[in-house]
Amino acid sequence: MSPLGWVPCPHGVYLIHPKGFKEKRRRWRRKEVAMESCLATRQRILIVDDERTNRMVLADLLSEDYDILLARDGEQALARLGDPQTPDLILLDVMMPGLDGYEVLRRLKEDGRTREIPVVFVTGLNDEEHEEKGLTLGATDYVSKPFHPAVVRARVRNHLDLAHRRKVLEESAYLDPLTRLANRRCFDHTVEGEWRRSLRRAQPVSLIFADVDFFKEYNDHYGHGAGDEALRIVGQALAGCVHRPHDLIARYGGEEFIVLLPETPSDAGRAIAETMRARVAAQGVTHRRSGVAPVLTISLGGYTVVPSLEGSPRQAVAVADAGLYQAKHQGRNRVVWTEG
Ligand SMILES: [Mg+2]
Expressed in angstroms and rounded, the spacing between residue 138 Cα and the centre of ligand 1 is: 19
Class of the domain covering 6-173: alpha beta
Confidence class for position 29, pLDDT limits 50, 70, 90: low
Length in residues, the chain? 340
Cα(99) to centroid(ligand 1), Å: 11
What confidence category does residue 30 fall into, taking pLDDT thresholds of 50, 70 and 90? low
- Average pLDDT for residues 327-334, to the nearest whole number? 98
**CB contact set of 126 (below 8 Å; sequence gap of 6+):** 144
Looking at the chain, the domain(s) classified CATH 3.40.50.2300 span: 6-173
List residues with catalytic annotation: 255
Residue 330: closest CA among 302, 304, 287, 299: 299
Query: Range(s) for CATH 3.30.70.270 in the chain?
Result: 182-339
- Cα(267)–Cα(285) distance, integer angstroms: 28
Amino acid identity for residue 115 in this structure: R
Binning pLDDT at 50, 70 and 90, where does residue 33 land? very low
Residues 182-339: name the CATH superfamily.
Reverse transcriptase/Diguanylate cyclase domain (3.30.70.270)
Three-state DSSP class for residue 332: coil
pLDDT tens profile 272-328: 999 999 999 999 999 999 999 999 999 999 999 999 999 999 999 999 999 999 999
Question: Can you give the pLDDT at residue 18?
Answer: 45
pLDDT at 222 over 60: yes
pLDDT at residue 111 in the model? 84
pLDDT of residue 41: 65
Distance from C-alpha of 61 to C-alpha of 56, rounded to nearest angstrom: 8
**Ligand 1 mean position, distance from CA 116 (Å):** 24
Q: Are 259 and 271 in contact (CB under 8 A)?
A: no
Determine the 3-state secondary structure of 172 from DSSP: helix
Tens-digit pLDDT profile for residues 260-271: 999 999 999 999
- Burial of 224: CB neighbours in 10 Å, binned 0-12, 13-18, 19+: exposed
**Average of per-residue pLDDT values in the chain:** 86
Region label for 331, one of left (φ > 0), alpha (ψ between -120 and 50) or beta (otherwise)? left
Rg (CA), the chain: 25
CA 22 to ligand 1 centroid distance, Å: 27
Distance 87 CA to ligand 1 centre (A): 20
**CA 137, CA 215: separation in Å to the nearest integer?**
49
Q: pLDDT value at position 56?
A: 93
CA separation, residue 332 to residues 147, 299, 329 (Å): 65, 5, 7
